[in-house]
Amino acid sequence: MELTHMRTWAEIDLDALEHNYHTLRAMAPAGCRFLGLVKANAYGHGGVPVGKKLEELGADMLAVACVSEAEELRQGGITRPILCLGQTPVELAPLLVDLDVTQTVEDLETGKALSQAAQAAGKTLKIHVKLDTGMSRLGFLWRAGGDNSRLLEDIAALCALPGLEAEGLFTHFADADGSEAYTMDQLTRFLDAKKALEERGIGFTIYHCGASTAVLHYPCTHMNMIRPGIALYGYYPAPELAGLDGPGLEPVMEVKSRIAAVRKVPAGTCVSYGRTAVLKRDSRLAVVPIGYGDGYPRQLSNRAFMEIHGTLCPVVGRICMDMCMVDVTDLPEVKAGDVAVVYNGALLEQDAEMVGTIVYELLCDVAPRIPRVYVQGQGKKKL
């Protein structure tokens, strides 16, 4: 579909993605691997196109949440190693083998199932062993100061299973953008476990802890692979992290919508469902074809702004499933067909704060029916 015919679209700037990649990679020590997170459709940006760009840029590995996401990347022609961060049902173990996907393993029983599937296929499946050092989600639970002998035995048994190659050991920080003390405690647990395993003769090729916040703020966590997520897409996990990277991150996505109509409406008129807005003056309302069916949160009703002709214009009334109204009274030149910027870096952060959520969620919520348009190069050529 031609851009001029699209009601609403998400513009993905691959140059910005490239900038963020190089900026983050420069923060890691020489020889450190780079794992790019492309789970959840690359945080709403499009898993296959983003994955291809990261592969082109030299990312060592990509990460997904489930095997179906890995399958989509492989079908899209991506050949880089893929790490599945979520647990895969044992019934799908043969698919992991077929797709050559590295699987996170958090318990011995899962490892045994993967071992059987790999042997049946006559192949070797790479795994990364996950330690739970304080997230209380997935992973072998490492107890600080406690008896971890059984855990060490289970990991040793896992690493010895035929058909498996235990390539990596990792953990995930629960509060890296909040508590330094808790984060350092988690890091200490991880290092203690690493040392205890090495004393048993168990070593790994790859060690990783650092997601976006740790990449930016805690160089001591970089190990020999970093795995940035939201920072790769141009956002800091917390405001105080801005600038730690030097050049500054660039938001990769802008959501835009083409005004469907502009209507003159007299003062005293109610607007949209529930009549939550009543016009205080004779107004001009732009009908913008985006709504909660597109992932634009209904909680932004009567609160959000869109950028039209470089000016912030307020959303008026409740956001509908497919449309919303924006006050353009002070912009008499606005007409049907003009472009409204729904999200850019600043608007997205402002909207996330308004609804009490995080940028990650709003990006992931951009609905599949909104086409992703990929641009790059001088003049931002559409791909």
Q: Give Cβ neighbours of residue 289 (< 8 Å, ≥ 6 apart).
A: 7, 8, 257, 258, 260, 322, 323
Helix (H) or strand (E) holding 341: strand 339-343
- 126 as an active site residue: the answer is no
Q: What is the largest CA-CA distance in the chain?
A: 79
Cβ atoms of residues 61 and 86 within 8 Å: no
Q: Is 353 exposed, middle or buried (0-12, 13-18, 19+ CB in 10 A)?
A: exposed
CB of 216 within 8 A of CB of 176? Answer: no
Strand boundaries in 89-172, DSSP class E:
101-105, 125-132, 140-141, 164-170
The catalytic position among 218, 235, 264, 273 is 273
- Residue 108 Cα to chain centre, angstroms: 29
Place of tokens 């196109």: 49
The Cα–Cα gap between 177 and 179 comes to 7
- Tokens at 98, concatenated: 């077929």
Q: H/E element holding 99? A: helix 93-99
Tokens of 359: 């940028």
DSSP annotation of 142 = P
Catalytic status, residue 39: yes
Rounded CA separation 257/272 (Å): 19
Distances in Å between the Cα of 82 and the Cα atoms of 34, 68, 104, 163 are 12, 12, 11, 18
* Catalytically annotated residue among 21, 39, 207, 360: 39
Q: How many CB atoms lie within 10 A of CB 265?
A: 18
Residue whose tokens read 């990277």: 245
Active site residues: 39, 273
